[in-house]
Amino acid sequence: MKEDLKAELLVLNLLRQVFLKEPDKKLLEGIGRIALNSEEKAERGGLKGMRDAVQQNERRLDEWTDHLSLEFARLFIGPAHPPAIPFASFYLSESHSLMTEETMAVRKQYLDAGLALKNLYQMPDDHIAIELDFLYYLTERVLELLENGGNTEAEKYLKLRHDFLMDHFVLWAPTFANRILESTNEDYFKGAASFLLEMAKYYAQEN
């Protein structure tokens, strides 16, 4: 179990960075250096797609980074009607609105886990990157507790994680990922969307 959680931490750490802001050279260079064995290539096609896109553009990385920043803004920010809105409330509310009851419910789950958001009120709590960051926090907390003999408290955080995943995250993240796949020709973002889809499917099956 611990090894699975450690592997999940790596995935969540990368995805939360990918969707939080425009990619910078440091992130892209790190992705370009990722080594995958044959089994991982089959299981993590999205990650391979991201890595291959970086490697194909490494000789024009400065120019390509600027291009990705523009595509990031077009996909997720706007100025008007971005094709892949990165907020859960848009997909889960009947009115496709932001900052709805769904957003407040997410905030309550953060508080129940003892987590106070640094950027509270600067970005809605149900942004994809913040939700991935929350999953990272819960997974890291479970690992810490298991490694220090806190099995009972670890069960509490595992339940929080399970409930957040099954009652919320997997209900909207795949739709968001598919919006990206339908809306971009950029292999880096297609890879990121596929990687997110793979992660969501894994959690849906495992939980």
Q: Where are the beta strands (DSSP E) in the chain?
A: none
Structural domain boundaries enclosing 198: 2-206
Q: Residue 87: helix, strand or coil by DSSP?
A: strand
120-136 burial, b for 16+ CB within 10 Å, e for fewer? eeeebbbbbbbbbbbbb
φ/ψ of residue 4, rounded to 5: -65, -45
- Tally of domains in the chain: 1
- Per DSSP, the chain holds a count of helices (H) and strands (E) of 11, 0
Which CATH number is 39's domain given? 1.10.3480.10
**pLDDT, tens digit, 9 for 90 and up, residues 135-156:** 999 999 999 999 888 888 889 9
φ/ψ of residue 22, rounded to 5: -60, 140
Contact call for residues 187 and 53 (beta carbons, < 8 A): yes
Residue 117 has pLDDT above 80, yes or no: no
Residue 97 has pLDDT above 70, yes or no: no
Report pTM: 0.89
Q: pLDDT grade, residue 207 (50/70/90)?
A: low
Q: Give the pLDDT score at 43.
A: 76
Q: Residue 127: helix, strand or coil by DSSP?
A: strand
